[in-house]
Amino acid sequence: MQIARFIKGFFYGNYFYGICAVALAIECSVQLSLPLNSILFYLLLFSITVLYYTHAYYIESKRSPIQFNDRTNWYLNNQKWIEKSQLTLTGIIFLLLILMLNGLQPHFTKISPISWIILAVFLLLGAGYYKSLYPKWGNWGLRGHGLLKPLIIGATWAGMVSFAPVIFFDLSYPGRDQSLESLTWLLLLKNWLFISILCMLFDFKDYATDANQELKTWVVKFGIRKTLYWIILPMSIISMTGYWLFTLHQSFNAHRILFNSIPYLLLITVSALMYQRKSILYYLAIIDGLMLAKAICGIIGMN
């Protein structure tokens, strides 16, 4: 019983998302052959990820009782603990920002304005996604654009795990401007496509709810079969093929190519099993878990 409570708290509390974000950020540095950032950066990324998702799901669980499920039930039964946890995380984030940026202020002007603008765009995408983040500001949010939804989530994640780590590296080693290098952008594009595909798969669990609310996600608009065979599988194969072509151009060794191909093969396998109804924990652990698998394979492939 205790194990089941721990598992639910780990996934529903979004700690797994935090781990995935940190792992992908580490993969980014390793694949770009950059030194790892300060542990403060990874703690900050973890804390922000957990705080962001927990706040959004917590507000939605209180505003949308119709979408009752096991995760909603967990949020409703753990309100006091969640509120204390969110306050604690907020305090930790402010402390980490002070510690992390102390002494780096003179380097801010050495970062290209273009890089700051790009980072701001990713942050604004994340801030504007959930209307529930601003319950008093009206009924708006990028999440309401069903077909764009997975692309927006993918872009936000890619920005935070593939661009933000490089920005912090540039701050720590002024004059490098690694954030504007083509390899940084190729890695960002790779993560964007991969995570966007996962988001399309994740929408399968909300098929009935989204259809009732007339939210035209890919699966609502085209159905499960067409979404799988016309969109998700072709995108997965194209992404993997694009990576292989890039590896041939860069003359990567077979070890690196093999390990970086594993996440795509897992993605194709998981996609083929999406016909059967799955629990929310399945989506959180298996589908989103492919982000962690991708990070681990990417890191191993470089060693």
Query: In 13-163, which residue ranges form alpha helices assigned H by DSSP?
Result: 15-31, 39-63, 70-77, 79-101, 113-127, 149-158
Per-residue pLDDT at 212: 60
pLDDT of residue 105: 80
pLDDT the model gives residue 279: 79
Confidence (pLDDT) at 253: 84
Torsion of CA 261, 265, 267, 270, to 10 degrees: -160
**pLDDT string in tens for the chain (303-residue length):** 688 888 989 999 999 999 999 999 999 999 999 999 999 999 999 999 999 999 888 887 776 554 567 888 899 889 999 999 999 999 999 999 999 888 888 888 888 899 999 999 999 998 888 765 665 655 666 777 778 889 999 999 999 999 999 999 999 887 777 888 888 999 999 999 999 999 998 888 776 666 666 677 888 888 888 888 899 999 999 988 888 888 877 777 888 889 999 999 999 998 888 777 777 888 888 899 999 999 999 999 887
Contacts 24+ apart (CB under 8 A), 266-273: 266/290, 266/293, 267/194, 267/197, 267/198, 267/236, 268/233, 268/236, 268/237, 270/201, 271/201, 271/228, 271/232, 271/233, 271/236, 272/228
Note whether 206 and 277 are within 8 A (CB). Answer: no
Q: Cβ atoms within 10 A of the Cβ of 245, count?
A: 10
Query: In this structure, what token pair is assigned to residue 160?
Result: 């935070």
pTM of the full structure: 0.92
